[in-house]
């Protein structure tokens, strides 16, 4: 599968999927089984962990004005996309903006107890008395919008179905299951708010990386300093070490030292472009180019991913030719 493409403006034939992608984005933040988040490193007695979590919940419940900005990637039934998300919450009122960095197409869902408005659709905005009903009518998706303000902050949704919470060793939720969704969390070393969410239900998956939380008074809620090297920077460094003009030359050097692994590029899955579907190795059999992935950070990163894909395609085709010319050699060292 290819790297996740930025969400783009809905074309006439694809308009419904564009809108459904937005709905899925919103619902998935509150959803599915995420991968197991790494432990925070704090191991405390169970009673102390429970007390810490109760205090965290109380602090967040007492703060009803907040915002987050981050990156989001969506996949559903083999289709996917990525972009940026901005969420602003003021009491029961919310304003959620989703944008694609390359196409600059955007959608906005806003509302509160008195109704909701969905903008960015072909034919103009739509309004309704209930955000969940509005999304259901416009997209066909059943999205529990009212629960998201809680789920995003790793809180069980108030007034909803009974929640099942699996705690980390320090008391913060590793996952929350509620209303048919399961949300997995990853946490900074300290703080009240998660750094990542991984939500799944059935064939749908949404991953959210929070770049910044705003408007929360607790100083311990701030996010850790971002990584020194972005995905784009990692990929730029990786490509600088390759012969982009002659991938076959890199192949010859690698084969000479016994490395016959295909080159892998990651999107929602890690694959070897240029190899037939039936010849795709497992991930551990690939030499993956660092900096490729399911979140596109901008136009520069998009161009670098295309360079990586073109290089990997040429390299893997040359590798296939080499293996056919040397049938006695193992294709998977």
For residue 303, being part of any structural domain is answered with yes
Select from 221, 245, 264 the last residue of a domain: 221
Instruction: Assess whether 60 and 173 both reside in one domain.
Output: yes
Instruction: Assess whether 102 and 242 both reside in one domain.
Output: no
For residue 331, being part of any structural domain is answered with no
| Closest C-alpha to 167, from 16, 269, 51 | 51
Select from 196, 221, 246 the last residue of a domain: 221
Instruction: Assess whether 70 and 157 both reside in one domain.
Output: yes
For residue 280, being part of any structural domain is answered with yes
pLDDT in tens, 163-190: 999 999 889 999 999 888 899 999 998 8
Residue with the bigger pLDDT between 332 and 173: it is 173
pLDDT category at 328 given cuts 50, 70, 90 is low
pTM of the predicted protein model? 0.56
Alpha helix ranges (H) inside 224-331: 231-240, 247-256, 299-325
pLDDT category at 7 given cuts 50, 70, 90 is very low
pLDDT in tens, 68-97: 988 887 776 666 667 788 889 988 888 888
Residue with the bigger pLDDT between 140 and 281: it is 281
Instruction: Assess whether 79 and 191 both reside in one domain.
Output: yes
Q: Once rounded to an integer, what is the mean pLDDT over residues 117-132?
A: 82
* Mean confidence (pLDDT) of the chain: 77
Q: What are phi and psi of 98, to 5 degrees?
A: -125, 130
Show the tokens assigned to 276. Answer: 């037939």
What is the share, in percent, of the chain residues with pLDDT greater than 90? 21
| Closest C-alpha to 10, from 145, 75, 107 | 107
Select from 189, 221, 253 the last residue of a domain: 221
Q: What interhelical angle do 247-256 and 299-325 show, nearest 10?
A: 50
Instruction: Assess whether 197 and 301 both reside in one domain.
Output: no
Instruction: Assess whether 217 and 240 both reside in one domain.
Output: no
Say what the pLDDT of residue 316 is. 92
326 Cβ contact partners less than 8 Å away, ≥ 6 residues apart: none
For residue 30, being part of any structural domain is answered with yes
**CATH code of the domain covering residue 108:** 2.50.20.10
What is the residue range of 276's domain? 231-325
| Number of domains composing the chain | 2
Show the tokens assigned to 259. Answer: 């490395």
């Amino acid at each position: 599968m290819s790297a996740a493409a930025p969400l783009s403006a809905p074309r006439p034939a694809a308009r419904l999927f564009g809108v459904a992608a937005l709905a899925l984005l919103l619902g998935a933040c509150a959803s599915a089984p995420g991968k197991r988040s790494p432990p925070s490193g704090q191991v405390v007695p169970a009673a102390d962990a429970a007390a810490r979590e109760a205090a965290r919940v109380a602090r967040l419940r007492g703060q009803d004005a907040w915002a987050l900005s981050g990156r989001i990637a969506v996949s559903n039934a083999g289709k996917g996309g990525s972009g940026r998300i901005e969420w602003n919450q003021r009491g029961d009122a919310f304003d959620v903006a989703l944008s694609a960095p390359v196409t600059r197409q955007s959608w906005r869902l806003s509302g509160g107890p008195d109704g909701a408005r969905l903008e960015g659709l072909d034919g103009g905005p739509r309004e309704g008395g209930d955000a969940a009903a509005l999304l259901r009518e416009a997209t066909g998706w059943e999205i529990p919008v009212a629960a998201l303000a809680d789920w995003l902050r790793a809180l069980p949704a108030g007034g909803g179905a009974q929640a099942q919470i699996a705690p980390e060793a320090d008391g913060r939720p590793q996952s929350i299951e509620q209303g048919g969704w399961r949300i997995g969390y990853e946490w900074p070393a300290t703080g009240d708010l998660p750094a990542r969410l991984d939500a799944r239900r059935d064939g749908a998956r949404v991953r959210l990386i929070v770049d910044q939380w705003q408007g929360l008074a607790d100083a311990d809620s701030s996010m850790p300093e971002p990584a020194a090297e972005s995905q784009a920077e990692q990929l730029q460094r990786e490509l600088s070490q390759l012969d982009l003009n002659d991938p076959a030359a890199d192949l010859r050097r690698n084969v000479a030292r016994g490395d016959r692994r295909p080159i892998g590029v990651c999107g929602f899955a890690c694959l070897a472009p240029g190899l037939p579907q039936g010849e795709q190795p497992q991930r551990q059999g690939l030499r993956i180019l660092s900096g490729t992935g399911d979140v596109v950070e901008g136009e520069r990163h998009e161009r670098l991913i295309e360079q990586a894909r073109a290089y990997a395609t040429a390299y893997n085709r040359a590798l296939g030719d080499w293996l056919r010319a040397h049938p006695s050699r193992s294709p998977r060292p």
